[in-house]
């Protein structure tokens, strides 16, 4: 097979419009958390961390997984269901559900995220897990593995302390990056307040990030004596979206605000390649394109070092069938590989 190898030249001059000087990112500010991580919500790039894979109790940040699983497995959010007696009177945060009370799914979702209702989370779990042989807890652990959150284990849907219930800052960032891609989840977690008609009340968000930090967009707080103060927070500015996770941090909100200020000062999100972008031709003259867009957060210094390389081939044959895949492309910062994608003859 004959390969045609060449570099795709970036329009560096377009990048230069964003700044007239190059500088190195300042050091991340001091963070008091036992474990923390800072990631780009789109690409998953880690730009700061300490003990990100330390297994720790995570309190009500558990409800991020509970809520996104419920959203993904329930079709009618306006459906009203009866609250099982087993879901009432759970210790800790509550929206004070009563046995056999009829409540809409959407109100339970908001009650779980905004008020951190353990009774709401348990009710969602009972309903969403009713058609799964292993129940909702098995669904939580299966989903964690599917997302790559391999250092997590869930034994309940609300986060009350249990020796075998834990996660990591890294895993929570992975789960949250997945969750905020869902429009309903993002709408819920970013709300300052919500009118819950089936509960005949307003629900106010306990997460101060959404109304205290200028660019705050969510996500979830958590606290138990065993876990300490835990916060998964998100913020977006000028198209750059950052997720910060702090675990066992008495300075939880202020630490996240410092992290966000630092991240937005030093990093910006750039679309490196765009789906459908022309990338060259095969040896028989067939035009080749980028298969999907790729964005990444970069410092001003890093953006000057971005380069792309490609390998264009004749279309691949898979299982005796001709495909539209015509090679690969790779994105580097200097010599560091940050992304690999496919080249296609159509998209």
**Residue 174 in contact with residue 149, Cβ under 8 Å?**
yes
Q: Is 345 a catalytic residue?
A: no
Q: Which pair of structure tokens corresponds to residue 164?
A: 């075998």
CA 94 to CA 117: how far, in whole Å? 4
**CB under 8 Å to 305, separation ≥6 — which residues?**
332, 333, 334
Q: Is 79 a catalytic residue?
A: no
User: Which residue stretches of the chain are H helix?
Assistant: 12-16, 63-73, 105-113, 118-128, 135-147, 169-179, 183-189, 209-212, 252-266, 300-303
The structure tokens 């929570």 sit at: 172
CA 25 to CA 122: how far, in whole Å? 44
- 160 backbone dihedrals φ, ψ, rounded to 5°: -60, 145
DSSP structure class, residue 87: G
Q: Is 234 a catalytic residue?
A: no
DSSP structure class, residue 148: T
**Which H or E run includes 278?**
strand 278-281
| Catalytically annotated residue among 35, 49, 104, 116 | 116
**Residue 149 in contact with residue 140, Cβ under 8 Å?**
no
| Catalytically annotated residue among 35, 60, 104, 342 | 60
| Catalytically annotated residue among 42, 63, 268, 303 | 63
Kindly list the catalytic residues.
Answer: 60, 63, 116
């Amino acid at each position: 097979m004959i390969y045609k190898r060449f570099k795709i030249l970036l329009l560096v001059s377009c990048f230069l419009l964003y700044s007239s000087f190059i500088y190195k990112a300042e050091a991340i500010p001091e963070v008091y958390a036992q474990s923390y991580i800072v990631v780009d919500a789109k690409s998953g790039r880690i730009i700061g961390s300490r003990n990100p894979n330390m297994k720790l109790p995570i309190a009500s940040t558990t409800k991020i997984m509970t809520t996104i699983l419920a959203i993904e497995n329930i079709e009618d959010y306006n459906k009203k269901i009866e609250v099982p007696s087993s879901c009432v009177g759970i210790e800790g945060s509550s929206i004070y559900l009563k046995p056999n009370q009829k409540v809409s799914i959407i109100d339970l979702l908001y009650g779980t995220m905004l008020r951190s209702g353990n009774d709401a989370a348990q009710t969602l779990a009972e309903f969403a897990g009713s058609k799964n042989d292993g129940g909702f807890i098995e669904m939580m652990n299966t989903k964690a593995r599917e997302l790559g959150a391999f250092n997590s284990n869930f034994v309940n849907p609300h986060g009350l302390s249990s020796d075998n219930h834990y996660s990591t800052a890294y895993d929570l960032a992975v789960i949250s990056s997945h969750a905020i891609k869902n429009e309903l989840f993002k709408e819920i977690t970013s709300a300052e307040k919500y009118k819950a008609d089936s509960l005949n009340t307003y629900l106010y968000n306990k997460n101060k990030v959404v109304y205290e930090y200028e660019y705050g967009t969510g996500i979830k707080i958590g606290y138990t004596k065993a876990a300490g103060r835990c916060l998964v927070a998100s913020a977006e500015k000028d198209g750059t979206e950052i997720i910060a996770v702090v675990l066992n941090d008495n300075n939880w909100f202020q630490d996240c605000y410092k992290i966000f200020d630092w991240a937005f000062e030093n990093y910006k999100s750039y679309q490196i390649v765009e789906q459908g972008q022309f990338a060259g031709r095969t040896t028989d003259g067939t035009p080749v394109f980028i298969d999907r867009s790729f964005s990444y957060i970069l410092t001003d210094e890093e953006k000057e070092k971005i380069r792309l390389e490609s390998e264009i081939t004749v279309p691949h044959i898979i299982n005796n069938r001709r495909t539209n895949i015509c090679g690969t492309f790779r994105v580097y910062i200097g010599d560091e590989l940050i992304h690999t994608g496919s080249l296609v003859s159509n998209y």
